[in-house]
A and B are shown apart, each in its own frame.
Chain A
Amino acid sequence: MTSWLTSFPQLSDSLLRALQRSIDNGFRSFTRSYGDLIEGFFSPLQTLLIWFERLLLGTPWPVILLVVAGLAWGASRSLRVVIGSVLTLVLIGLFGMWADTMKTISMVLAATLLSIAIGLPLGVLMARSARVQRVVSPILDIMQTMPSFVYLIPVVMLLGIGRVPGLIAVVIYALPPMIRLTNLGIRQVDPEVLEATDAFGSSAWQKLVKAQLPLALPTIMAGINQTIMMALAMVVIASMIGVQGLGQPVLRAISNQYFTLGLFNGFAIVGIAILFDRISQAWGKRLQKHREASHD
């Protein structure tokens, strides 16, 4: 008599099984007929990734150290950031993780570039139209809360195991902050400034390029920073579907209980995360030097 209250009335087992099976079969046949096409569509990504990896692995390590030092100096003008960045990489190299680190960095760079290329225009569109915002917002919510393992499944079914599905998984995870913060940054631009640009006869494109984007840049930079951090966080999970780099040793350490191996590679990920973060933040701050000398 009370059993209908304690156990939730659910669809019958056979119905559920049939439902699952039909969705699975549907997707599988979709994969079989369009898999090659989709793989072909994403093959430029493969080229991009391999090019990045070859670039980073083929360049002599002293050159890489010099380039990183130069980037750090250019972005921050702070000796502390430069020394910290170089020291991090030197330690990583000394502990035998140079090649894995380069692979991870190339993956993160590719994912970040892709996220900017997709996220910036989408964020702009979202800021310009309330309708686009209403459609895109819930999709972003899903992308951010759906456990990443779940969307790994269809990606792997479609594209198999390797760099490209890994990259796609990383981009799905790292893209939302880029879109959200671009949208936010543009929406926060002072309407009086925009009214002035209108009054002088700016076209929509002039308004975007000369006022909205530059004024939203600090927020957009925060979005890029977030995207880099999230891409790094996905490295270990992506290694489960064959992405090479620092994630692989961590994965091995988990399954074999190699405590030190896990720790070293974990620290290497933390190290490059801090490195990316400091450099990109310092750059973002320098881009808005007009705010520093505030008059009062």
Chain B
Amino acid sequence: MTDPIGIEIRNLYKIFGANPQAHVAAVRAGMTKAELQARHGHVLGLSDINIQIAPGSIQVIMGLSGSGKSTLIRHINRLIEPTAGEIVIEGRNVVGMSKDELREFRRHRTAMVFQKFGLLPHRTVLDNAAYGLEVQGMAEAERYRTAMRWIERVGLSGFEKSYPSQLSGGMQQRVGLARALANDAPILLMDEAYSALDPLIRYDMQTVLLDLQQEVRKTIVFITHDLDEALRIGDRIALLRDGSVIQQGTAQDIVLRPADDYVANFVQHVDRGKVLKVGAVMLAQHGFDALPEASIATDASIAEALQQMAANRLQALRVQDPQGQTIGVIPFQDAINAYTGSKGEGAE
């Protein structure tokens, strides 16, 4: 198993059109997408993207269609050439790689899962899952053994001789996932991997991914337009709009402190009780004379805290970190305020 590696995206720009280089300076100086389109007929795909992705974390990039999220993920393995900027992985700039270097990089450092699966229809599940290894030049017996292990791991045992067209969408995406994981690359790129699946299967596949991540610890870049999905699986989330990052942070940051009205609008329908953690809402303990008896874990949800307080008629709970140390207090009113999203001063 390879060690996780981080990704650093620096000042990335993508302009679509006949002569993109000519307009980078203007865009850097502040020309908007609409202006660029109207005056020069070029489309601003991505504008000054800066994202640091920690090794072994799940970075969600979220936005509506047309926001540039699929364009952005394709820059990480350079399926799309940037107009300007850098992508630094293991100290090397992906943008500067030669053709051969890039091919080696794609073979061993990244694996990708696609919205429409991208499976080879003339190949069996087994041969699809083994594709990345085959391209690397691994011997047949060995690549089949590895591929079989991942086919079993994603729950497709018994289907290895089937063709993709014989499988449902959810099963096809499991093949896509097995193919990506079999590669054993430290970076996993998932381009709206679950968007084509129906909600139950999508939830199921999210669970598969989270479970797998516990074992394999990859650096995952996950594109989605579904906020619930983003909040569930993302260690960090970057919100994209019109090719620019408008906010990035943890799920808590985005729900509690939306950067602007657009984000606020986005998050207003979220089930805050489930998304928000006690640790993000609690107050410092030194403000209290007597600490409450009952306690709750810092990563429990607000909904759980409220349930516990309501059931036992408590006014506050002590918040404990995983080592059992008390690190704060969550009063009932603060929990309610966080849950409803009202900014009222809870504990006067």
Contact = CB atoms under 8 A, between A and B. Distances in A.
A98 B162 CA distance: 46
A291 B164 CA distance: 9
Contacts of B105: 201
Given A200-B132, A201-B136, A291 B116 contact: no
Nearest to B137: A206
Interface string A165-209: 000000000000000000000000000110111111111001000
B269 interface: no
Contact of A288 (B106, B112, B122, B183): B122
Interface stretch (B165-173, B244-252, B281-289): B165-173
A214 interface: yes
A195 B120 CA distance: 11
Interface residues of A, number: 23
B121 A291 contact: yes
Nearest to A193: B118
Contacts of B165: 290-291, 293-295
Contact of A201 (B122, B135, B179): B135
B122 A206 contact: no
A54 interface: no
Query: For the complex, would chain B's binding face be called helix, strand, loop or mixed by DSSP majority?
Result: mixed
Contacts of A77: none
A61 B323 CA distance: 89
Interface string B103-138: 111111011101010111111000000011011100
23 contacts: A192-B118, A193-B121, A195-B79, A197-B135, A199-B79, A199-B114, A200-B111, A200-B131, A200-B132, A200-B179, A201-B132, A201-B135, A202-B103, A202-B135, A203-B135, A217-B122, A290-B123, A291-B165, A293-B163, A293-B165, A294-B166, A295-B165, A295-B168
Given A201-B132, A203-B103, A291-B165, 18 more contacts: A192-B116, A193-B118, A193-B120, A198-B79, A199-B77, A199-B114, A200-B111, A200-B112, A200-B179, A201-B105, A201-B107, A201-B136, A210-B120, A210-B131, A210-B134, A214-B122, A290-B165, A294-B166
**3 tightest CB-CB pairs across the interface, nearest first?**
A196-B118, A201-B107, A201-B106
